[in-house]
Structure 1
Amino acid sequence: MNDHAAASPGRAGLPRGIWALGFVSMLMDISSEMIHALLPAYLVVLGASTLAIGLIEGIAEATAAIVKVFSGALSDWLGRRKLLAAIGYGLAACTKPVFPLATTLGWVVAARFIDRIGKGIRGAPRDALIADLAPPGLRGAAFGLRQSLDTAGAFIGPLLAIGLMALSGNDFRLVFWVAVLPAFGAFALIVLAVHDPQPAAALRRPRSPLSRRELARLPPAYWWVVGIAAVFTLARFSEAFLVLRAQALGLGLMWVPAVLVLMNVVYSLSSYPVGRLADRLPRGALLAAGLAVLVAADLVIALFDGLSGLAVGVVLWGLHMGMTQGLLAALVADAAPTELRGTAFGVFNLVGGVALLVASVLAGALWDGFGARATFLAGAGLAGLALAGLLWRGRWAR
């Protein structure tokens, strides 16, 4: 496929390259979540302690967040984003066969670590490439579509893992081998169906994107997006606390994964419609609405003790994710100069990763010290703070 074909309109007026990137994300997420859904239990089988599992996951995710900064800056310096995105997906695909072949804990940890490095390499260049490919009037739809397909993979993967475990009599390695297929499908799709757009002749290529001089070129509107997103992330913490709340309310262990499946179904179904809406309505207003939904989700989960109240809270949680995640990416694309988009997404992702880590630690401390209700009430307060900041900057939001 040539560059013209990759940029030609697909369904809903979006370039075919964006649809391809959406399905690349979905296939890789199916593969990763099939493994990730079972990995903690598999690590225990191989002899890992609960503390070790927490450290492995924390270090892996922190590594991905740090790598995103440098890969985004490198994509600006090279002027080529697809190359780095393809390397990231290829690296992740190559780690997948290690999981079924591994016989020791060390091999699994190494594969998990390299897989997250691959995620870090591809993240910022891929988002910058979406911004490059999307027509300015369709950026909301483009990021919403990518997020919608990616999140579909986040619930399809665990459902496949559950089904295969049931059919195979809990054969971990069989599930891990099946997960290899969509991973290499994602790599093949990005290599064959995605291409960098032709750069503008006058586009400046920064020599040192992470220098103070270049970072100073990112406008105040961009830093407001980063700041609002950081406070917002502090308010929402890890979805693991939804699972803990479900267990505390008496949901059977067999049905606990259904909490995240429900959340991701709502997240996936809402992301693309909200993205299309964001191309017609003020994005700041939609983001404010998403923050208001998060406040409602936290309050419902905190104040209602039954499983029906939890289900309503989980649906609202998924809805707020669908209303905000693709929208924040579109706002970054709007605010950042074209030649610094990779760097802008890298910094945005790093700040978000650090905020999520801090939020999860604080949520855990609140949970241990004061209980679940205090944790979610604190989340509602922080979400309200982010909403107040956004409304205070209402003129910028428009």
Structure 2
Amino acid sequence: MFNIVVLGIVSLLTDISSEMVYPLLPIFLTMSLGASPAIVGVIEGIAESIASLLKVFSGYWGDKTKKKKELAITGYSSSFLGKIILVLAGTWSGVLVSRILDRLGKGIRTAPRDSLIADSAQEKSYGKAFGLHRAMDTFGAVIGVLIAYFLLLANTTNFKRIFLFSGIPALLGVIVLFFVRQPREINVGKKKLSFAWSSLDKKLKAFLILAFIFNLGNSSNQFLLLRANKLGASAPLVVLLYLVYNISYGILSYPMASLSDRIGRKRILVTGYFIYAFVYLGFALVTKLSGLWTLFAFYGLYIAFTEGVEKALLAEIAPTHLRGTVIGLHATLVGLALLPASLIAGLLWDFFGAAVPFYFGASMGLLSAIGLALILNEKASL
């Protein structure tokens, strides 16, 4: 439990930093730097996808070398450096470099950190462990968004001052990470660590493939923020809408992940995918600012139903000695889908209008919910 709490504090501090910046980036890019929605999509897609290539390798390397803590420190340090580059950025290409560094850090740290959480938890309590971590992570996001909001009220045009302040909690997160204790590793004998796609359980492979397909329609959250801005929301109001999303997510992530320990992962995950489909349909149809409050709240509900529960599922069904590798593989597949997803969303927006990328995302979400229900059938142990 000590490690889970400490890692939660690290994520809390890092998310304070990240969420001081994230909701402002699409506005900064389009209003201050003159970038188009397609450029926003290119930046997010490239950053997420390049970083995602590292996740499976980072997870495998952590399993092989047992240096999961060291990899996590390297990853969080890279994200801190990305914040510094963002302060110096004067063009959208500078923002791209910053986002790549930030996402590279996430790519390096995610699988080793999640593997540390699983190694530090009881097998029957994976949902609670990942739910607690996600709740603390999101509580940090709420704090970060609130800080950004009040700094915006003080000076609505000085985005770079906010970017500079965001480096402080990022640095504190790296420092706190040094207090994590290396958990006792499961003894797998002298068996050489190896990984092959063909060796994975069929249902696990099906779930990983479905996750990739689903995320082809799940473009960057920045398109949600840009949608709000184009409907007339000012920068402070966009930040408040993002705050609603994080509060919803933060309140419900631990209860939903814990509930999956008792009733199974399937019901929670399928419900989450259906919620996603209807939320994206709502973003396609919305015409008034008042409707955005409900949509952002329900988008947080979707995240609470899926993110921690997916990680608990992966920790539960992955081979113990390859847990970090499988978690990293899932994160890699999800991230790789973000490049085409964000490119598609940006191009659909530019050529066919703001509603079209959300119709596309809703369709992919609905199809994926049905597919997930079939994969995680009642007879499965999942």
- Could you say which TM-score interval applies, normalised by the shorter chain? 0.7 to 0.9
- Give the structure 2 partner of residue 24 of structure 1: 10
Distance 1:97 1:301 in 2: 33
Bigger shift: residues 106-115 or 323-332: 106-115
- Give the structure 1 partner of residue 257 of structure 2: 275
Contact 1:231 1:383 in 2 (8 A): no
Distance 2:21 2:286 in 1: 33
Superposed displacement of residue 25, structure 1: 0.9
Alignment size in residue pairs: 378
Q: Which amino acid aligns with 1:396?
A: A
- Give the structure 1 partner of residue 186 of structure 2: 200
- Give the structure 1 partner of residue 220 of structure 2: 238
TM-score, structure 1 length as denominator? 0.83
- Give the structure 1 partner of residue 113 of structure 2: 126
- Give the structure 2 partner of residue 137 of structure 1: 124
Superposed displacement of residue 168, structure 1: 5.7
Distance 1:117 1:297 in 2: 29
- Give the structure 2 partner of residue 3 of structure 1: none
Gaps of 5+ in 1: 1-14
- Give the structure 2 partner of residue 216 of structure 1: 198
CA shift digits 1:301-359 (9 cap, x unpaired): 34454434333222222101110111111111112111111211221111101222222
Superposed displacement of residue 52, structure 1: 6.3
Contact 1:85 1:122 in 2 (8 A): yes
Which residues in structure 2 correspond to 1:142-157 (within 5 Å)? 142-157=129-144
Superposed displacement of residue 248, structure 1: 4.7
1:396 and 2:377 equivalent? no
Q: Indicate the RMSD between aligned Cα atoms, in angstroms.
A: 3.0
Distance 2:32 2:345 in 1: 29
* Alpha-carbon spacing, 1:179–1:203, altered in 2? closer, same or farther (3 Å): farther
Distance 2:58 2:82 in 1: 19
For the pair shown, the structure with the greater C-alpha radius of gyration is: 1
Contact 2:42 2:339 in 1 (8 A): no
Q: SS state of the match for residue 195, structure 1?
A: coil
Contact 2:149 2:240 in 1 (8 A): no
Match among 301, 307, 316 for residue 289 of structure 2:
307
Contact 2:45 2:342 in 1 (8 A): no
- Give the structure 2 partner of residue 175 of structure 1: 162
Q: Which amino acid aligns with 1:188?
A: I
State percent identity of aligned pairs: 37
Q: Which amino acid aligns with 1:291?
A: Y
Q: SS state of the match for residue 198, structure 1?
A: coil
- Give the structure 1 partner of residue 323 of structure 2: 341
Distance 2:300 2:22 in 1: 20
Distance 2:174 2:48 in 1: 21
Distance 2:115 2:50 in 1: 20
Superposed displacement of residue 77, structure 1: 1.2
Distance 1:200 1:49 in 2: 50
Match among 59, 71, 92 for residue 84 of structure 1:
71
TM-score, structure 2 length as denominator? 0.87
Bigger shift: residues 56-65 or 337-346: 56-65
Distance 1:325 1:336 in 2: 17
Gaps of 5+ in 2: none
Match among 167, 178, 186 for residue 191 of structure 1:
178
Distance 1:179 1:388 in 2: 40
* Alpha-carbon spacing, 1:326–1:205, altered in 2? closer, same or farther (3 Å): farther
